[in-house]
Amino acid sequence: MAVAEEAAAHVRARRPEVFGNVGKRAGSGDSVASKSTPTDPVTVVDTESEQVIRDRLAELRPGDAILGEEGGGEEDSAAEVRWIVDPIDGTVNFLYGVPAYAVSVAAQIDGVSVAGAVVDVAARSTYAAARGGGATLTDADGRVSNLRCNPVTDVSMALLATGFGYGAARREAQGALIADILPRVRDIRRIGSAALDLCMVAAGRVDAHFEHGLSPWDWAAGSLIATEAGARVRIPSPQTSSADGDVVVAAAPGIADALDALFAEIGVDAPIPEG
71 pLDDT tier (thresholds 50, 70, 90):
confident
Tens-digit pLDDT profile for residues 147-182: 999 999 999 999 999 999 999 999 999 999 999 999
Neighbours of 160 (CB within 10 A): 25
Sign of the alpha-carbon dihedral angle for 57, 140, 188, 88: negative
Q: Which residues are annotated as a binding site for Mg(2+)?
A: 69, 86, 88-89, 218
How many other C-beta atoms can be found within 10 angstroms of the C-beta atom of residue 135?
Answer: 25
Tens of pLDDT, residue by residue over 19-54, are 876 545 455 556 777 656 666 678 899 999 999 999
Q: Which residues are annotated as a binding site?
A: 69, 86, 88-89, 218
Identify which of 88, 147, 145, 149 has the alpha carbon closest to the alpha carbon of residue 122. Answer: 88
Domains and CATH numbers, the chain: 2-146 (3.30.540.10), 155-266 (3.40.190.80)
DSSP state of 128: E
Distance in angstroms (rounded) separating the CA atoms of residues 181 and 168 = 20
pTM, two decimals, is: 0.93
Task: Quote the pLDDT of residue 23.
Answer: 46
Q: Which residue has the higher pLDDT, 139 or 35?
A: 139
